[in-house]
Amino acid sequence: MRTSAKYQVIQKYASKYPIIRMCVFFGVSRSGYYSFLKRRIQPNRESALLGRIQECRGSGRYMNTYGCHRVQIWIKRQYGEYYNYKTVWRVMHKYGLLSKIRRKRFFHCGEQIRTYPNLLNRNFHADKPNQKWVTDISCIPTSQGPLPFHHSGFV
């Protein structure tokens, strides 16, 4: 059982049972219980940050693609308030506000070395357009895995 849930039970039955006995029963400290009560009275620190993040996401067309670093910079420019980017990330993660776009990663197509015959032999001159096409495809990434390119002899 979470400690905060134990504190909530103690708070619920504080008028019926002694607090010290309930703290001993649940195995929590009395000072921890009172600091829990004090924290509940104080306003939530991340609610203001959450409002700023939601405002940033709703303020422009591409703002919902902003990550924690760019949201942090936007809040600093708009309001002059500094938040650590880790705090911004934690709040965005907690409320499901992380950006949808992720950085593309390098895709490894395999360790195989493929060699193909040099059909052009450095003769790049063409009489008409679209006679000679050259590319560097070694594999095509798909959702099921890399699709290897097999040389068919066309140039």
Contacts of 78 (CB under 8 A, 6+ apart): 52, 56
Number of structural domains (the chain) is: 2
Mean pLDDT for 83-104 is 86
Query: Has residue 49 been placed in a domain?
Result: yes
Within a domain: 27? yes
Domain interval for residue 11: 3-41
88 and 71 part of one domain: yes
- Give the pLDDT confidence of 104-149 residue by residue, as tens digits: 666 666 656 666 778 888 888 889 998 888 776 667 777 787 776 5
Residue 90 in any domain: the answer is: yes
Residue 30 lies in a domain: yes
Higher pLDDT, 152 or 89: 89
Nearest 5°: phi and psi at 145?
135, 175
Q: Which two tokens stand for residue 88?
A: 């911004």
Per-residue model confidence as pLDDT tens digits over 6-55: 999 999 999 999 999 999 999 999 999 999 988 887 777 788 899 999 88
76 within a domain of the structure (yes/no): yes
**Domain assignment of residue 155, yes or no:** no
pTM equals 0.46
Evaluate whether residue 68 is within a structural domain.
yes
DSSP 69-118: HHHHHHHHHHH-----HHHHHHHHHHTT---S--PPPP----S-------
